[in-house]
A = this chain, B = another copy of it.
Amino acid sequence: MCGVGLIEAVPNVSEGRRPEVIETLAAALAGSPGVDLLDTSSDAAHNRTVFTLVGAGAALRTALLALYAVAVDRIDLRIHAGEHPRIGAVDVVPLVPLDPADMPVCISVATELGAAVAERFDIPVYLYEDAARVPDRRRLETIRRGGFEGLTTKMRAESWHPDFGPLRPHPSAGASAIGARRMLVAYNVNLQTDDLDIARRIARSVRASDGGLAAVKAIGVRTSQPDVVQVSINLVDFERTSLHRVFESVQREADRLGVSIRDSEIVGLVPAAALMSATTRQLQLTGFTTDQILECRLAR
């Protein structure tokens, strides 16, 4: 498998409106040795910026601590407004193995980063998903529920004492959720119809929570085009449920409902391994590995 030993970090920072602050945050990551800042996506409505960077564990930890230093200095959640629920200046930091076999490394990096953030910045840290030490904290939604505004009250309960750091929020920077999770693929299938109910029915039929495919989360949504609705999918484990299997399930259900598929789209970055199942199926390829992709060899 391609990219062995490399980890992706996708820190979500509660600042999406002040360009000079976003630039300073990005510069803290980009200027840190041994990491590549691959993407910066800011959303003014959510007042949030999502960074994507890749590197080995130790280099990532150093870069992320530099990000925290800027965020703690420049962001004050007491005067922060935005649509997205958030608990901290550096709200969430998922660590994602490029090779699923490196999950234990991600859990270590999350744990070490959590301890360092608590010690250096006096911020309470919750470890989530595969890094969670408490079953209740696996789900990020649970940790974030109530947001920054509800944090002081929430933390009074013993069940919400943090994994690291003080028993109350940082006055301006709140708390932080640091976790390890599998690589998500954000994948949308567009349907040639204006009937939102059809997209919702297909979403229900393919998603895990309604008995569909194991690694699929899906909802039906409208798009910017009046005659197109969308099945918006998060594939949380592409090794368990492949991308082409998701597509074929949507296609089968759309056929049954008499609707045609317009096209599909992958949002953002995707590891080569997630695309391979579709390629090998289309070409009846055998014995092919991502190691044979030139760019994967170069990325090592």
Docked complex Cα distance between A287 and B266 (Å):
8
**A279: chain B residues within 8 A (beta carbon):** 275, 278-279, 282
Q: Is the CB of A284 closer than 8 A to any CB of chain B?
A: yes
A279-B279, A283-B243, A283-B247 given as contacts; is B294 within 8 A of A266 (CB)? Answer: no
Which of B264, B271, B292 contacts A293, CB < 8 Å? B271
Docked complex Cα distance between A265 and B296 (Å):
18
Interface segment out of the listed A1-9, A159-167, A204-212: A1-9
Determine whether the beta carbon of A278 is less than 8 Å from that of B283. yes
Q: Can you list 26 contacts pairing A with B, beta carbon distance less than 8 Å?
A: A8-B294, A36-B297, A38-B298, A243-B283, A247-B283, A262-B284, A264-B286, A265-B287, A266-B292, A268-B292, A269-B293, A269-B294, A271-B295, A272-B272, A272-B293, A272-B294, A275-B275, A275-B279, A278-B278, A278-B283, A282-B282, A294-B299, A295-B296, A295-B298, A298-B298, A299-B299
Please name 12 further chain A to chain B contacts, defined as beta carbons within 8 Å, in addition to the given A279-B282, A296-B299, sorted by A numbering. Answer: A36-B298, A98-B295, A264-B285, A264-B286, A265-B287, A269-B294, A269-B297, A270-B292, A271-B293, A272-B296, A293-B295, A295-B296
Docked complex Cα distance between A296 and B273 (Å):
12
Copies of this chain, complex-wide, total 2
**A287: chain B residues within 8 A (beta carbon):** 265
**A247: chain B residues within 8 A (beta carbon):** 282-284
Q: Is the CB of A66 closer than 8 A to any CB of chain B?
A: no
Determine whether the beta carbon of A288 is less than 8 Å from that of B271. no
Nearest B residue (CB) for A2: B295
Listed in ascending order, the chain A residues whose CB lies under 8 Å from chain B are: 2-3, 6, 8, 36, 38, 54, 98, 243-244, 247, 261-266, 268-272, 275, 278-279, 281-288, 290, 292-299
A272-B272, A282-B281, A283-B278 given as contacts; is B292 within 8 A of A299 (CB)? Answer: no
Docked complex Cα distance between A22 and B281 (Å):
38
Closest 4 CB pairs of A and B: A298-B299, A295-B299, A278-B282, A282-B282
Specify which of A243, A281, A282 lies most central, judged by the most chain B CB atoms within 10 Å of its CB. Answer: A282
Determine whether the beta carbon of B285 is less than 8 Å from that of A266. yes
Docked complex Cα distance between A19 and B150 (Å):
69
